[in-house]
Structure 1
C-alpha cells in the first residue's frame, strides 16, 4: 500500500487500484492515475458513490489496513440539528484481477429509514501509455465501447479488431435499477441504484465485485503472496529489509520461463512498471541473492525466454540481446508503442551474465548456468557484435527517437550530459555499462572453464576483459577531475559531468584499486552525498536539478550498487555513512525506500523531500536494504 496526498494505492497479484480519500475513482490521468489496473490497462475508470443523491463525506479518510485492503467511514451531509441518518462503513480489497467492496450502512435513527444508494461505474480501458502526461495521442480505429446490463450488475466491454477486454461489475443484493449515468453521446457509464431498508438503528449490507478480464487472460493468476505480517524488528535495517521483502512479494508477477514453465519474477514498480524489466529485475535479483536465490533463477529463465533472435529496428531486438521491458497492453499489441518486447537497453545483456554467474557462486548449484549456457554464449556474442565491443571498442547505443533516447539506467532525455547540460549524441558509451561488460566477460570465463569445460573460450573472454580494462582507464579517466567520465560520445569525447555512475565501476571492478578508493571517497563529499543518499549528479554543476529524474535526484538502487562497490574496496566508514542515510530516509516513508528521492541536502529539511513522480513500491528500491545488509556484513 502507498498513500500520498489524498490518494491511496492497493496492490495484490499483479493488480493495483488507486482511490481517493473516500474510496472513489474519478478517472484522472497524469503522474499517478486513478483506477483499477491489470496488464497495462485501466479496467475501472469511474467508481463514484452517492447516498440519497449526494456524495458522502469522509469522516475518516481511506486508510490501508494491509497492502491490499482499505477502509473508510462515510456519511451523507448533516447538520448539528439534523445529523446524518446513517453511517457508511466502506471496505475495499484488491485481489488477482478483481476489486471487492463491502458497504455496511448503519442507521442512526430510532425509526425505520430507506437508504437510496447509487454507484456510477465506467471503464475506459485506457492503455497506461495514454495516461502519461506527455501530450501524446494514440488513434484507435474501429474501437467500440459497449455496456450490457446483466442479472446482477453490468458488463463493460471493449473491442478493437481482435483485441477484446471487459470488466464485469456484480452486486449482492442485485441493483434495483441500472441507468445511463449521463446524456453524453456514446457514454458507457452506468449508475446502479439500490433502495436499502434499515430498521430502527439497524444495518444493511451491499457487496460489490469488479472482475477485470484483459485480452488473452481470462483468469488472472493469483500468486498467493501473504500480506505483510507485523514486524517485531527493533533496528532500522531489519525493519527496512522486512518492508522491502514484503514489497517484493506484492510486486511478484507470473512470467513464462525458457522451457515454457511458469516462473515468479519481480516486476519493476507501481503504477507505471508492473511488468518484467530487464535491468530492474536483474539488479533486484542480484541484491536478493543471499536471501532469495530462487528469484534470480526465475528471472534468468524469464529473460532467456525473451532473448532476442532477430533484428527489428522498431523494438531494437538483436540476436542475443536481453529485453529491456515487456508490455501486454493494447498499444503494444498494435505496435503503436515499441514496448511489447523492447530491447533498448545497453546494460541488461551484461547484467544477465553477471547474475548467471553470481547465482552459481552464491548457491553452488550449476544447473541454471548449465541450462542457460547457449543463452549466455549468445549474450556474449551480442556484446561483441551488435553491442559494439568489436567495432567501437565499447558497449554503445544509438538514441532511439521512437523509444528511449538514453538506454542505460539513466534513461531520461538529457541524463547523459556534459557539464554545460548538453545531451551526448551517439553512438554513446556510458561508463557503467563498460564495467558491467568487463565483469560479465570475467564471470562468463569462469563458467566456461569450470562448468562448460571450454578453456579456450574462457581464455578469449579473459583477454577481451583485460583489453577493455586497459582502454577504459586510458579513455574514460579525467585527469583534472581525478574521476571517470560519465560516457564517451559518438566523437570519442569525454562526457564530463560528474555523475554517480562512477560508483558502479567500484562494484564491477574495472577501476584500479587505488583509483576506485579515491572515487568512492569523492562520492561521499557533500556535493554528491546529500546526507540521505548519493545524488545522480553532483550539485553545483550547470545541469544539476534536485527534482530531475536523473540529473540531481538520488536513487536508492544506485546507492545500493555503490555501497556494494565501496565494500568491495574496503571503504567501511563510507558504507556505514551511506547506509545510515538511506535507512534514515526509509524511516520517514514507513520503512519503505521509494524509487527516487529529491536531491536536497539533509541539512535543509527535517525529512527527505519526495520526488514527485516516484514509483512506490518499486522493486530495486525494495531490494536496496538487502544489498546494504550484504555490504555492511562484508566490511
Structure 2
C-alpha cells in the first residue's frame, strides 16, 4: 500500500490513501515519527461504524494532504454526507480537520469514531530484519482526557508521551476509540479538529500546534519558500528546472535541527524518509556540496553540526577515533540504552575527508574564509585522522564492524564491496572512492593552510601526502594492463575487481590522470553500466550483478550526480548531457522527485524506470542531484583540467 509522506523539521507522518495509520511494520511502516520513535501507530477513522469509502485518495501538495470520504453506501442509496479529510504536520505534531457536509435537504447525523494508539516503537524495531530487542521494564499506559487521550511510555530513565486532543470533545471514549455524534442541518456542515502532539524523550516541548491543517501547511510552505529563494532556472531546459525546484522544495522540509560547535542552532539536511530522518555525515556533506552554488547556507549548517559532533577520543564500540566525522546520530530508545551502536556512530571511512572537501568548497564558493577560519581546529583534527592512516605508506581503510555496518563507504550493505564473482572483500578494506576523497581533501586543506591559516609548512606536508597517495593508488588499484580501477583492495593486496560505479567518483576528486580519467568516464556510459536511466552501481553481466540489489546493480541518482561532476571535470561534456537527460527523464516519471535508488533494468527493455521496492523518498542527496547536474552542465570545458598522463601534479579542484 502506498503511504503519503508529510515532513517538517524532523517530524514525519506516513498515511494510507484514506489518511489512516494502521500500525504496520516492515519495509513500509506507517505512523507519526519523531526522533526515531513512532508516536502514533494507529489512527483509523470509521463513519457510522464502518470503514469509509474513499472517493478521492489522499494526495499531497507537499504540505497539506487531502482525501474525500463517505460512509459506505449502495448504488440505490447515495451516502447521506461527505467528509473532506485534511492533514498536515508541524514540528512534533499532526493536525487534522474533518469537514462533514450533509448531501440531503433534511437533517442527518454523522457518527464518526477514531481508534488511536501509540506503540512508541523504535525505528530499528520496525525494520523487517527479524531482530528482537529486550525492552526490559518498558511500560505503556493510556488515560482518557476530557478532550481526547494521552499515551505514556516509561523505561528506566526513558520517558515519552503522545497526546491527542479534539474539538469538539468526543461524546464518549472507550478503550482506544473516541466517538462523536454530529448533527448536520439540511445541506449544512460540521467540523472536527484533532491534534496529535509528540513529546519524545530528551526533546524540549514543541511550540503549540497550529489551529488547523491549512495553518500548519502554510507554515511549512512559507519556510520552504524562504529556504528555496529563487530556484535555479535553466531556461533552455524546463524539465531540469522543474526537477531542481522539486529538489529544493524537498531539501527545505528534510532539514533537521542540530547544534553547532558554539551551541548555536543549525538546520542541516537529514538523509531521508522513512528510515533516515536524522543527521548522516556522508549524506549531508554530499547533499550540501551539490546544493552549494545555489544554497551555501546548507553547507555552513552541515559543517557546523558535524564539527560539533566530531570524535575526540577512541571508542571501538562506536568506531570513534580522534578527528573522525560522525556517520550517523540517533535519538531513539535503543540507541539511548546502547542496544544499537548508532546513538553517535562513526563507522564511515569517507565522512571525514568529505568534511574537508566541503569546508574548502564553501570558502571558494562564498569567497568568505570566516567559516574555514572558525573551524580550523576541527579541520586539522580531520586531516590528522587521514594522515595517521597514510603515514605508514598505506591507504585510507576500514574494517567491517560486527556490531554496526558491514562496509563503511557509501555502499555499506553486506557483500557490496566484492569481486566480479560476488565475494566480499575482507580485512582492512581500501575502497577506491575514499582514496579519491582523501586525495582531494588533503589538497584542499593544504590550500586552506596557505591561504587562510598562514601555515605553509603544514600545507607542504598535506600536499606531499596527497601526491604519495595518488602514486600508490595508480600502482595498487589498476590490475596489469587495465585502465579501469578495482572497486577496492583488501588487507592482503587482493583487488576486489568488480566493475563498479565508484570509479566515477575518482573523476570528481581528480585522482586519475587525463588518459585514464577519460577512459573511465567513457566506460561508465557503455550499455553494461548505463541503463538509459542512469549508471548502475555494478556493470551488468558480472556474476555479482543483480538489478534489484541495493548496491550491486541498483541505480542511485546521487552516485550519478558525482559521476556527472567528474565527467565535466575531465571535459566529457557530451557524456554529461547523456547522463543528465537520463536522470531528468527519470525524474519526470516520479513527479519530478528522484527516489533514493532505482532498479537496474535497462530502458531498452522497460519504457519507464523500474522502482526499487524499498527506496526512501524524499531523500536528501537524491533531491540535490538535479542541482549537481545543472552545475556539471554549466562547467566550462577544461575549467579544471586533470593532469596529463601519469603526471604527478594534482589537478585544480572544482568548487
Deviation at 1:229, TM superposition (A): 10
2:223 counterpart (217, 222, 225): 225
The alignment status of 1:204 with 2:190, answered yes or no, reads yes
2:178 counterpart (184, 192, 206): 192
Partner of 1:169: 164
SS of residue matched to 2:563: helix
Partner of 1:599: 600
SS of residue matched to 1:280: helix
The alignment status of 1:567 with 2:568, answered yes or no, reads yes
CA distance in 1, matches of 2:186, 2:297: 57
8 Å contact kept, 1:429–1:487: yes
Unaligned runs of at least 5 residues, structure 1: 181-189
8 Å contact kept, 1:147–1:155: yes
CA distance in 1, matches of 2:458, 2:482: 38
8 Å contact kept, 2:387–2:465: no
Deviation at 1:297, TM superposition (A): 1.1
SS of residue matched to 2:318: coil
1:58 counterpart (34, 54, 60): 54
Deviation at 1:512, TM superposition (A): 1.1
8 Å contact kept, 1:109–1:200: yes
Partner of 1:497: 498
8 Å contact kept, 2:359–2:372: yes
8 Å contact kept, 1:68–1:95: no
SS of residue matched to 1:253: coil
Partner of 2:328: 325
CA distance in 2, matches of 1:230, 1:75: 41
Partner of 2:395: 394
SS of residue matched to 1:148: strand
The alignment status of 1:69 with 2:64, answered yes or no, reads yes
Partner of 1:351: 354
Partner of 2:649: none
> CA offsets per residue over residues 10-38 of structure 1, 9 Å max, x none?
11222111111111100001112100011
SS of residue matched to 1:200: coil
Deviation at 1:87, TM superposition (A): 1.4
8 Å contact kept, 1:13–1:225: no
Aligned pairs for 1:2-401 (under 5 A) are 5-64=1-60, 66-180=61-175, 190-220=176-206, 225-226=223-224, 235-385=238-388, 388-391=389-392, 393-401=394-402
Partner of 1:187: none
> CA offsets per residue over residues 536-577 of structure 1, 9 Å max, x none?
000000010011000011111111111111111100111110
Aligned pairs for 1:440-589 (under 5 A) are 440-589=441-590
Partner of 2:648: none
Deviation at 1:210, TM superposition (A): 0.6
Deviation at 1:392, TM superposition (A): 6.0
> CA offsets per residue over residues 462-520 of structure 1, 9 Å max, x none?
11111111111010012344210000012111110000000000111111111111000
SS of residue matched to 1:207: strand
Deviation at 1:226, TM superposition (A): 3.0
Partner of 1:183: none
Q: CA 1:6 to 1:192, structure 2 compared with 1: closer, same or farther past 3 Å?
A: same
Deviation at 1:312, TM superposition (A): 1.0
CA distance in 2, matches of 1:103, 1:494: 61
> CA offsets per residue over residues 43-65 of structure 1, 9 Å max, x none?
1000011111111110111111x
8 Å contact kept, 2:7–2:89: yes
Deviation at 1:390, TM superposition (A): 2.5
> CA offsets per residue over residues 301-343 of structure 1, 9 Å max, x none?
1100000011111111111000001011111111111001000
> CA offsets per residue over residues 46-96 of structure 1, 9 Å max, x none?
0011111111110111111x2121111111111122222221111111111
SS of residue matched to 2:224: coil
CA distance in 1, matches of 2:579, 2:539: 16
8 Å contact kept, 2:390–2:465: no
SS of residue matched to 1:226: helix
SS of residue matched to 1:574: helix
Deviation at 1:524, TM superposition (A): 0.6
Q: Answer with 102-111 or 408-417: which moved more.
A: 102-111
Q: State the TM-score, normalized to the length of structure 1.
A: 0.95
> CA offsets per residue over residues 230-274 of structure 1, 9 Å max, x none?
999771111111111111001011110011101111111111111
Deviation at 1:108, TM superposition (A): 2.4
Partner of 2:617: 616
Deviation at 1:200, TM superposition (A): 2.3
Unaligned runs of at least 5 residues, structure 2: 208-218, 638-655
CA distance in 2, matches of 1:124, 1:307: 33
Partner of 2:212: none
CA distance in 2, matches of 1:169, 1:7: 22
Q: Matched residue pairs, number? A: 619
Q: State the TM-score, normalized to the length of structure 2.
A: 0.92
CA distance in 2, matches of 1:292, 1:195: 50
